Structure formats: structure tokens, C-alpha cells
Amino acid sequence: MPELPEVEAARRAIEEHCTGKKIAACSVADDLKVIEGVSRSDLEAALFGKTILATLRKGKNLWLRLDSPPFPTFQFGMAGAVYIKGVAVTKYKRSAVSDTDEWPSKHSKLDDGLEFSFTDKRHFARVRLLEDPESVPPISELGPDALLELMPVGDFVESLSKKKTAIKALLLDQSYISGIGNWIADEVLYQAKIHPLQIASSLSKECCESLHRCIREVIEYAVEVDADSNRFPKEWLFHFRWGKRPGKVNGMKIEFITAAGRTSAYVPELQNLTGNQSEKVSRKKSTNVTSKKNVDAEESPSEKEETYETSKKNETAEDNKGREKKTSETENDRISSKVMAKKHVAVAKRSLRKRSKSSQADL
């Protein structure tokens, strides 16, 4: 599933190659599952003749700021990807497709002949046409962006101390921090030496600080290399976690469990349950995933109850959010496109400075 680095790579590619250009032609696939809330013809008509002013992102959602609304938004789902003809956007491990297989699934042609396409071979992505993307779901419901808005370490430590849910489930909760998906969660927990099922509030201050640092470093590095997994450090868990195959990372055994409903890779030698949860270690080992056959039978009854309770709480919270949005304007609660664009620029400048220093060092 494309996560923050992959979506950011797509945003940067569109920003670099398409900003300021007019959409001279637009073709939308006849896919009612992916194209949500708007007809194919209306989407084509809304984009035709518009000029792309900016490309914005929050979490794993991307949208184009045109010279007038409405604006197209893209939720990448399991295998959504942006392709720009003749431009290498990203080499995301799990969504690599052949241009001949999908081009042009959904594409726009710009006034200088450049073409770009948003494709999804698994049909879990969503394309919407919205007047103000940041003011309505799903973007309005997202928590702080993990790259642009990661909370200060002190606030992060305090926040985790109040969370009674498993740490991986919390990291995957897009209303808490947006942009972290399965592989990033596994990676940062491995690097911080934290078990995926450890209750967040039970983590020590040192563990919380380590996790905060790992989130920042992993995401910034992945973004810096445009989500090209071939350039990720060789010691990262990322390279060994796919397919639930037995293996080792840095000489240590990798095992698989289900956490937050997702297959999760972890290293028992480094990532141990602590405190009251340490008594459950032997039971957790008996539920390790060794084949696809038992991947859905790994959670203990107590974990299923915790997942159910967490789900109900989240539903209640979302219902309350909905009622609040209907009764009052929440203009101060959302980040304006101008502010988000400035944050993207700031990150790009930091990246440019890093590359400049690296080039000087090489000389």
C-alpha cells in the first residue's frame, strides 16, 4: 500500500512537471468504484481547460489546486499510483506496473503534450471532485501529517501516556498521525525496539522519545530518496518483511503476527513485550503466522475485544465529529492550502540543502 513517502514522491513529480500547465484533454475510466460521487463525464468536464496551480498532500491523500474549484483528490488505497509519461515518479515495491498494462487508465494531457495518469490495478483507490478538499472527509478527519506536522517530542510522549491501545494500532490510526502505513509502522517499531502489541501508555519516556525519532528519521529518509526502496539502508527491516517468508535481518529472526488486523513483521530478539504484557509472550509465539492459512486466526480473544472496543470508540468519536461539523464552522481547525503549500516548500528546501551538502562532501 502506498504510504506517505510514495504519495509525497508523486506530489513532487506533479509539482515539478505539471505546475502552471493547462489540462488540454482528460480521459476518465468507466469505474464507478474508484470514481466516487461524480460521473465520468462531469469529472472530465470539470478538469478540461483548467490550469494546475499546486499539488498538495496530507497523509496518504493528494489533491490538485486548480485555477478554480472544484478540485480532484486522490486517495491511493492499496495500489494507487501516479505515472507521468517519460518521468520516473517512484519505484514503490508493491505497486510496480507496466505502462503497457495500465496506460492510460485515467489520464490527462497537458497543453504541452505531457501526459500523466492516476492508475489503480486493484480498484481500492478513490478519486473525488471536491469544492474544498480540506474541509470534508476524508482529509478533514486526518490527524497531523507525519512529515509536515509531527507533534513535538514532549507532546508525543504525553499523548502516548494516555492511549490504552496497542502501539501499532495507534500508529496506523490516520486520525492520530496521518501518513503511516503498515511497512512504516513495522520499520519504526523495529528500529525503536518496541513490540507491535505493546500498549502505548505502558511505554517508558525513553521508548516514546526513541519512537518519535525513528518516525521522523525513517519518513524523512524515504522521502529524500523519492520512496525508491532500492536506496533504503540495507539494514532496514523493509527489505526482509514481504511475503511472510521466514528470514533474518541483521542476523536476527523475523516473525509475523497480526496486529491491528494487519500482518506485522517484528524481531522477537529486540522487540519484547514489557510489564504486565510480558506474561503473554509465550501465547503470542504460538500465534505466529507461518502460512496464509492461519493469518486470520492469530488474534487472541482478548485482542479481538480490544480491537472491537477501540473500533466502537473511534466510531463514536467520528459521530461526534460529524455533529460538531454540522453545528459550527471549524475554519480554525483545518490547515489552509497556503499553509500546507508553505510546509511542502520548507521540506523541499531542507531536502535541497541536504543534497547540496552531500554533493560537496562527494567532491
Q: Provide the CA 119 distance to its chain's centre, in angstroms.
A: 17
Asked, for residue 89, whether it belongs to a domain, the answer is yes
Question: Global pTM?
Answer: 0.77
Residue 235: pLDDT band (50, 70, 90) is very high
Out of 217, 241, 273, a domain closes at 273
Asked, for residue 210, whether it belongs to a domain, the answer is yes
Query: Residue 88 is placed in which grid cell?
Result: 520516473
Asked, for residue 213, whether it belongs to a domain, the answer is yes
Q: Tell me the CATH number at 165.
A: 1.10.8.50
Phi, psi of 102 (to 5 degrees): -120, -15
Say whether 253 is catalytic: no
* Catalytic residue from among 8, 50, 58, 60: 60
> Tens digit of pLDDT for each residue in 260-288?
999 999 999 999 999 888 766 555 555 55
Does 108 share its domain with 185? no
- The whole-angstrom separation of Cα 197 and Cα 261 is 11
* Catalytic residue from among 2, 5, 70, 138: 2
Average pLDDT score, the chain: 82
Q: Tell me the CATH number at 21.
A: 3.20.190.10
Taking each helix axis as running N to C, give the angle between helix 182-192 and helix 205-224, from 0 to 180 degrees, rounded to the nearest 10: 130
Does 68 share its domain with 167? no
Number of domains in the chain: 2
Say whether 70 is catalytic: no
Say whether 164 is catalytic: no
Rg (CA), the chain: 21
Q: Is the pLDDT assigned to residue 60 strictly greater than 90?
A: yes
Residue 111: pLDDT band (50, 70, 90) is confident
Neighbour-count burial of 260, counting CB atoms closer than 10 A to its CB (0-12 exposed, 13-18 middle, 19+ buried): buried
Where in the sequence is the domain holding 86, given as residue range(s)?
A: 4-130
Out of 273, 301, 326, a domain closes at 273
Does 207 share its domain with 94? no
Query: Residue 268 is placed in which grid cell?
Result: 522477537
